[in-house]
Amino acid sequence: MRDPDFTLAAGPTAASARTLAALGSPITYHYDPAFLEAFRRTEAKVGRVFRTDNEIILMQGEAVLGLEAAARSLVRPGMPVLNLVSGVFGKGMGYWLKGFGADLHELEVPYDEAVDPQAVDQYLTEHPETELLTVVHSETPSGTFNDCSLIGPIARRHGVLTLVDCVSSVGGMAFDADSWQLDVCIAGPQKCLGGPPGMSLMSVSEQAWKAIESNPAAPRASFLSLLDWREQWHGNDHFPYTPSVSDIHGVEAACDQLLEEGLEAAIARHENAAAACRAGVVEMGLRLWPKSEDITAACVTAVAVPDGLDHEAVRSHVREHYGVMLSGGQGAGNLVRIGHMGPTANGVNPVVGLMALGRSLADLGVTVRLGPGVEAALARLADSRQA
C-alpha cells in the first residue's frame, strides 16, 4: 500500500527532509568519538528546548519508556501521590502509580476538560503529606492541556515533586521547565519537534535525583533505570546499553531546526495553525471536542465525530479517498484529531486535514458547511500572516 500523501496525525508526525537525512546518515559505532560528541551535543540542545539547566537524560525508547522509568524511579511503596487526570494518559499514569505501590489520590475531570490549578492548590493544602504530583501537560488524545505554568509553582510551594508528561507539548506549546519549577519532564521527539519516535527526552532536577537515589524501589541494572544513565553515562562515560545511533542524529537535527527557528516563533506557528484549524472546524458546523477553546492544545485539534458515525470509519475514508492520515482518540472518545505538529504546523497544512475531513463527512452523509469552513480557516491564516 502507498504511503499517505499527508500525515496530519497526532504523532509520529511527518519529519522534515533535513531530519530524515540525519536519520539516514551513516551509522557509527556508539563509542566512536564523533558519536560521543553528537550524543552530548544533543543532550545540551534538549536542555535548551526544555529551557532547563537540570540534567538531561536521553532514554533510548519511546516516551512511554521514560514515563514508566520516571514513575518507577520516584514512587516508593506507600508514597502519597496526587495524580491529575483529564484524559487517557493521565488515567494510565494512575494505573502505573498504583501498580508501583503508591498511595494514590486523583483529581479527575471529564476528558474534554482540564484540571483546575486552584483545585490542586486546595488539595495540596489539605494533604500536606503528598510527596509527588503527576500531570500530563498536553493530553494528546483529547486535544486539551493542563496549565503547568501554574501547577508547577503550586507544587513546589507545597514541597511536592512534579512528574510532567510533556510528550506532545514541547516545541509547539509554551514550556519552561525551570521557571515553571518542574522536576521530572518527559517529552517525545516525534511530536512538535518533528523527529523520530524511539526516544524519551527527559530532564531531572536535583530534588528529584535525591528522591530517586534514596528510593530502594528505583530500577537499577535495567533498561528502565534512570540511575544507570546517571551513574554509567554521566558518571563514567559508559552507555548502559547501545544507544540508538540513527535516532540521536534525527533528534539532534530536529532540535537544531527548532532552535534555529527560535522557540517563540515555533510556538506561535503551532498556535496559528491550531487557531486556523479550530476556526475551520467550528465554521464547518462541527464540534470541537474540548469543552472550551481556552484548554485546547496547539499540537492537535480534536473534533467530535457526528452522531451515528464512528471515528474509525471516518478516518479510513479520509485515508483511502483523500490520502490524508488523521488520528482517533485512543480511547478518549469518538473523535478525530488533526495534527499540526512540527513541519505540519506550517502553511496550509492544517487546512488540508480540515478539508479532507469535511469532504469525507459529507461523503458519509453528514451535512457540513465545507466551503465556509475552509474559508474560515484560511481567513485565520491570512490574519496571522498580517499580524
Q: What gap in Å lies between CA 363 and CA 54, rounded to an integer?
A: 51
The nearest distance, CB 336 to a copy of itself, in angstroms, is 13
Rank residues 20 and 150 by Cβ distance to a copy of itself and give the closer one: 20
What sign for the dihedral angle of Cα 110, 115, 116, 120? positive
- Single-letter amino acid code for the residue at 194: G
The nearest distance, CB 321 to a copy of itself, in angstroms, is 5
The nearest distance, CB 167 to a copy of itself, in angstroms, is 10
* Largest CA-CA distance found in the chain, in angstroms, rounded: 63
Q: Which residues of 42-69 are buried (b: 16+ CB within 10 A; e: fewer)?
A: bbebbbebbbbebbbbbbbbbbbbbbbb
Rank residues 152 and 250 by Cβ distance to a copy of itself and give the closer one: 250
Rank residues 65 and 79 by Cβ distance to a copy of itself and give the closer one: 65
Return left, alpha or beta for 202; rule: phi > 0 is left, psi -120 to 50 is alpha, else beta: beta
Rank residues 37 and 206 by Cβ distance to a copy of itself and give the closer one: 37
Strand partners, 324: 6
The nearest distance, CB 100 to a copy of itself, in angstroms, is 10
The nearest distance, CB 267 to a copy of itself, in angstroms, is 17
Assigned C-alpha cell, 260:
534555529
Strand partners, 107: 84
Rank residues 152 and 172 by Cβ distance to a copy of itself and give the closer one: 172
- Strand order across the 287-288 sheet: 287-288, 300-304, 335-339
The nearest distance, CB 178 to a copy of itself, in angstroms, is 28
Rank residues 159 and 262 by Cβ distance to a copy of itself and give the closer one: 262
Q: What gap in Å lies between CA 310 and CA 328, rounded to an integer?
A: 10
